[in-house]
A and B are shown apart, each in its own frame.
Chain A
Amino acid sequence: MVSQHGIKLAVYLVSSFYGDHNSKVCECLLRRGTLTLAQIIRFTELSREIVRHCLLALIHQNCIQAFSIQQEGAFGEAPKVVTHYMALFDNIIHHMRFPKFIAIVKDELGGECEKVFEALLQHGRLSFNQIVDREKQTVSKEENFDVDHLKESFNKLVNGRFVERCPAPEPFLAPPSDEETPAKKRGAKSTKVGDVSESIEQRALAAAAPMESLRFLAETHNWSDFSDKSSEEKFTSVKTGEKRKQDFLETDGGLLDQDEKKEVLWRVNFEELIRRLRHQACIANAKSRLNDECGIILGAILELTRSSESKVNIGSTASVSINDIYDEVIKKKGGLGMNLERIRASLVELGCEMPMLVEEYSIDLKSIIDMAQNEEVESIVLKRYGREAYRMFRFLSKSGCLHETDKIADTTFVEKKDAIKILYKLWKDDYLQMEKVTVNGARQTHFLLWKVNRQSLCQHVLDEMYHAALNLRLRIAHELDQEKEILQMPKDKVGEVEELRKRYMRLKKVSIIYESSLMNLDDALMLFHDF
């Protein structure tokens, strides 16, 4: 379930990148869930033509996934296949962090790969031939265009898993089998409608995804010999009726034509990039919380175990032997002087227990992420509510259970009359949960109990962060709008007048601060949503 401000931020990003019509279609899907073409037209009040083009563009930019399901016909009509569309919230938000993704690729693979990668980010989906054509246009006549060099760069991106084959544009979800139906019927009574929709969307994504064996398989000269799910599940293979054709996105030489020509389409693999960013965040946390050595050792372990990670947000790394860790550590900057003794000491600081038999270690990444999240929330509480609130919040957060007001005040050395006011403020702003208990004795006595509910707190903080990210973007736009005259002036003219020059320098400084704050805030967003 996406939060309100998450939706607003996503809509703003789509508007910034792709215009208002596309953002309207996205907003409709984000707020209302998976819809058909007819429903989108009705809710957005845009023309059929505009909606179709928007959907094509957004599918191409990986912001929307289409899928088709069979629906029972009404009044004795034959069942029909209807196309549905779902917004991909995560992929939309990823647009904010394209510069980070580019930096990762540039650091690891160099400038040539960076250019290809940037093209894929810009265009959403490209075949290799399209990448070649695009590169030919950018290269000047004097330079020699080397397609083999380009192929090499492209293969590096695929082998590094930064680029993947595109999912099927519109997989067909078969109706549930007879064995599944009774269980689903039982489930339908107890589950809400929202739960059923969610599973359809998850099924759609799973059905669209290319097989793991093909996902990172670079094309060869005989690429047409390979067939994957996306080329097998063609639209025309599904029974269509008149109604079906009306929901069908016409090709117009766009996305679907590629499939029919059997050209493999490639796109950026966000999963791998988020994995790299997660690792970076864990290493940075270890460095700042503990020391540089712990950061180096954690980096080494993550390097060794990355390829074995089955999903982005794994709880713990795979186990690695002390010798493998040592061999990797000494390759790293600052790691050459380390010995096994120091590595073991750092591993204990990182939370590893001393192994009993075989000397292997595994790092609990979830606990590092949890600690980083706690630091972020506690920082907000300290800045917004003060030092006493910070102590009380930390007490409740560490304890994880309900405590009475006086107990909290006594433990944290806060005046009892102040404690109740601060706790009430935190509760009102959804940072704490509160329960009232009445004890019936000689007199009725009321007690207030307080608690940090981590799950709901993280969701609330995430929503606030989406809100803040949107605010930063709006503020940047406002500042630029205020000074648009200066931005439109030639630079030499600005430099001539002291007042204009000052305003220009201020704008430059302000933009840098806003942009870097946004990048930092985005790290925190990933901490709470993606990691």
Chain B
Amino acid sequence: MSRSMNASSLKRKRPESSSANGSLVDADRAVFNVIKSKEDMGIWTRDIKFETKLADTVVNKSLKSLLSKKLIKEIVNIKNKGRKHYMAAEFEPSKEVTGGAWYVDGNLDKELIGVLKGLCLKIINSKKVATVEGVYDFLTKSKVTTFDCTNQQIAEVLNSMVLDNEVIEVKSTGLGEYHSIPIGTVCYRIAKGAGLGESLKIGAMASIPCGMCPRISQCTPDGVISPSTCVYYQKWMNF
């Protein structure tokens, strides 16, 4: 009995012992095929279970097995960082999954962005006016960075700086400071006040407590929140 059992258990074990090229048990193969079919998008655990119609325990066991054989890898999906996602080992996660060049482990690489912004600001400050290509060429030739960045990345950083009102986007007139830039080419210059430690000009509404107040819609003359009881006004006049 035990021999037959031993023989059958051995027999049972044989399909589980797999190699990269070897056969997998049916469950493992099913799970692997589903994961591989998603290519560089990867797939969530629950979706694997849904598509393979296998029991939870079976899927979990297969995933463990495939991971140990390095046929699949676990990845972070930027849209759902809390969920376990898997991808076939031969694929690199797509931009949609990672979040793009600016994301590391599902988080925005603020340090990298900050460094590039600082460099771009210095370059434009020294050149007075620069195009995307001008900034990119300067960065690559001067080798101030220890990492590679693309023209596209520089354009994205400059665009973000325009939105921050640190630089302004202008079109070359071909005259004066623009003489080396073809007419009509988009270029960038330092925004007035930026780069000198000056903050953005504050509007009239934003200069008073009501402009900053998150409760303005609830404020009434005789209400709980009112101008006469307002703590923001109180702080504003504490000098």
Report A's interface with B, CB cutoff 8 A: 288-290, 345, 348, 375-380, 382-384, 387, 390-391, 394-395, 398, 406, 410-417, 429, 461, 464-465, 467-468, 470-472, 474-475, 478-479, 506, 509-510, 513, 517, 520-521, 523-524
Contact = CB atoms under 8 A, between A and B. Distances in A.
Given A380-B211, A383-B206, A467 B219 contact: yes
Given A376-B203, A379-B201, A468-B216, A289 B192 contact: yes
A412 B157 CA distance: 9
A14 B33 CA distance: 78
Given A468-B210, A471-B230, A521-B205, 9 more contacts: A380-B205, A384-B214, A415-B107, A417-B81, A468-B211, A470-B227, A474-B221, A513-B237, A517-B208
A379 B173 contact: no
15 contacts: A376-B205, A378-B203, A383-B211, A384-B213, A384-B214, A391-B163, A394-B163, A412-B163, A464-B216, A468-B216, A471-B219, A471-B227, A471-B230, A479-B237, A520-B207
A387 B165 CA distance: 11
Nearest to B202: A379
A509 B211 contact: no
A417 B213 CA distance: 24
Contacts of A472: 208, 210, 227
A294 to B, nearest CB: 11
A524 B205 contact: yes
A523 B204 contact: yes
Interface string B157-199: 0011001110000000101100000000000000010000000
| Size category of the binding interface on chain B | 35 or more
B230 A415 contact: no
A429 B217 contact: yes
A383 B212 contact: yes
A513 B165 CA distance: 28
B112 to A, nearest CB: 10
Contacts of A417: 81
A509 B102 contact: no
B227 A474 contact: yes
A11 to B, nearest CB: 11
Contact of B164 (A391, A398, A479): A391
A390 B108 CA distance: 18
B27 interface: no
Contacts of A461: 205
A375 B165 CA distance: 11
B7 interface: no
Contacts of A378: 203
Contacts of A383: 202, 206, 211-212
Given A384-B213, A387-B164, A413 B237 contact: no
A414 B102 CA distance: 10
A483 B207 CA distance: 25
Contacts of A395: 163
A300 B12 CA distance: 95
B210 A379 contact: no
A471 B213 CA distance: 12
A24 B103 CA distance: 61
A464 B228 CA distance: 17
B205 A288 contact: no
B239 interface: yes
Nearest to B169: A398
A470 B222 CA distance: 13
Contacts of B213: 384
Q: Could you say which of B79, B205, B227 has the most chain A C-beta atoms within 10 Å of its C-beta?
A: B205
Contacts of B175: 345
Nearest to A391: B163
A411 B204 contact: no
Contacts of B173: 348
Nearest to B102: A413
A409 to B, nearest CB: 9
A413 B203 contact: no
A475 B227 contact: yes
A509 B239 contact: yes
Nearest to A525: B204
B204 A376 contact: yes
Contact of B176 (A345, A380, A398, A429): A345
A379 B203 CA distance: 6
Given A415-B107, A471-B219, A472-B227, A375 B205 contact: no
Contacts of A412: 160, 163
Contacts of B207: 517, 520
Given A411-B159, A467-B219, A468-B210, A524 B201 contact: no
Given A411-B160, A474-B227, A475-B228, A380 B203 contact: yes
B99 interface: yes
Contacts of A521: 204-205, 208
A524 to B, nearest CB: 4
Contact of B78 (A390, A416, A524): A416
B113 interface: yes
A429 B99 CA distance: 29
B100 interface: yes
Contacts of B113: 413
B233 interface: yes
Contacts of A377: 203
A431 to B, nearest CB: 12
Nearest to B107: A415
Given A387-B164, A412-B160, A467 B205 contact: no
Contacts of B159: 411
Contacts of A467: 210, 216, 219
Given A345-B176, A379-B200, A383-B211, A416 B99 contact: yes
Name the residue among A383, A406, A411 with the largest chain B CB count within 10 angstroms. A383
Contacts of A376: 203-206
Question: Nearest 3 CB-CB pairs, A to B?
Answer: A379-B203, A468-B210, A471-B227
B116 to A, nearest CB: 10
Contacts of A416: 78-79, 99
Q: Which of A395, A413, A467 lies at the interface centre, i.e. has the most chain B CB atoms within 10 A of its CB?
A: A413
A468 B208 contact: yes
Contacts of A468: 205, 208, 210-211, 216
Contacts of A509: 239
Interface centre among B79, B99, B175, B216, by most A CB within 10 Å?
B216
B206 A379 contact: yes
A470 B102 CA distance: 46
B39 to A, nearest CB: 15
A416 B230 CA distance: 34
B160 A380 contact: no
A509 B236 CA distance: 12
A416 B237 CA distance: 38
Contacts of A520: 204, 207
Given A412-B160, A471-B219, A384 B204 contact: no
Given A413-B113, A413-B160, A465 B227 contact: no
